[in-house]
Chain A
């Protein structure tokens, strides 16, 4: 395949060093511990933690089985496994950020509706007070004095 100038040449492929793998594994473990701790202290809701936990496990798997990453790098046509790793992580982060934007939009809509419901309820209360007769203004006067 050497006649294809842009094809990945197996001879010059760059692999992860064992040092990188150890660092990655340590970071992954600390990351997962941090998430567990956040859940434990009620700082992170379980339903939002799953995705982070999966990310941590993925990191650990990548460090433990470097063949996995090399396979993915080959699939992407990237010669340097480190570059493949960066690209995958970047894509995952992009997905997460989008996921958060969707969540945020939903919450913004919910907050708006909540504000509207409260405003309407107040106006309705005001209308009701005015409708229940002329006694209401007098009563208000009495409580003021």
Chain B
């Protein structure tokens, strides 16, 4: 049983080494792949120094394309399971291990780490405190995605996920470059895959502020809703293949 943990990274030379070391410690049997999304800093070099695999995209293509690269690699190289987490240190690898356990036990095809569904919420709610505009966005996406999939999702934009080969096959073919996180959930549910959320603990971003200003947030939310709406009318692919 082989597992690939991939880390999409765009100009993350500062935090990458620590994240890799942490993943190694928590998931010693997994192979690690850094997907460098056309960084202009030494992200790829940091990855190679750490002795992990590095897939370097020749130019910045966006998070969706970087994630798809990871899924494609996992599929082609015959990994049984894969997981990904952010390179900025927000996602504790110990939690990734719990996500992987779910897919390994075949309880789900795709498992999402949700920062909002915390069973020990009172004790650990200080770890992650979203900003106001993020709270609005989260609420809107949650509502529309739940409406679209008829399944309850709390953390729609989580970048911490674990998946099996059925998901790899789907995502390596169809993965929106623009609105990867949300559309991929909708797609997976539509294709009849078992998607599950697992509560995880996430940390505050180590450095730098979120890229979202109020105006950008509004646009982001609007775009997400449009993407979801259009996604509802896409032809189902799995159903066609089964026929």
Contact = CB atoms under 8 A, between A and B. Distances in A.
A118 B33 CA distance: 15
B53 interface: yes
B56 interface: yes
Interface string A115-145: 1101110111011000000000000000000
A116 to B, nearest CB: 5
A112 interface: yes
Interface residues of A, number: 13
A124 B78 CA distance: 12
B140 interface: no
Interface string B20-43: 000000000000010110000000
A115 B61 contact: yes
Given A115-B61, A126-B53, A127-B53, A120 B73 contact: yes
A112 B65 contact: yes
A123 B53 CA distance: 6
Interface string B62-98: 0001001100110011000000000000000000000
Contact of A118 (B58, B76, B77): B58
Interface residues of B, number: 20
Interface centre among A112, A118, A119 (most CB of B within 10 A): A119
A115 B65 CA distance: 9
Interface in B107-163: none
Contact of B72 (A108, A116, A126, A127): A116
Given A112-B61, A112-B65, A119 B56 contact: yes
Contacts of A109: 177
Contacts of A118: 57-58
A115 B58 contact: yes
B73 A123 contact: yes
Nearest to B44: A122
B102 to A, nearest CB: 26
Contacts of A126: 48, 53-54
A74 to B, nearest CB: 38
B55 interface: yes
B77 A119 contact: no
A134 B238 CA distance: 44
8 contacts: A112-B177, A115-B61, A116-B68, A118-B58, A119-B57, A120-B55, A123-B53, A126-B54
List 4 A-B pairs, minimum CB-CB distance, nearest first.
A119-B55, A123-B55, A116-B69, A123-B53
Interface of B: 33, 35-36, 48, 53-59, 61, 65, 68-69, 72-73, 76-77, 177
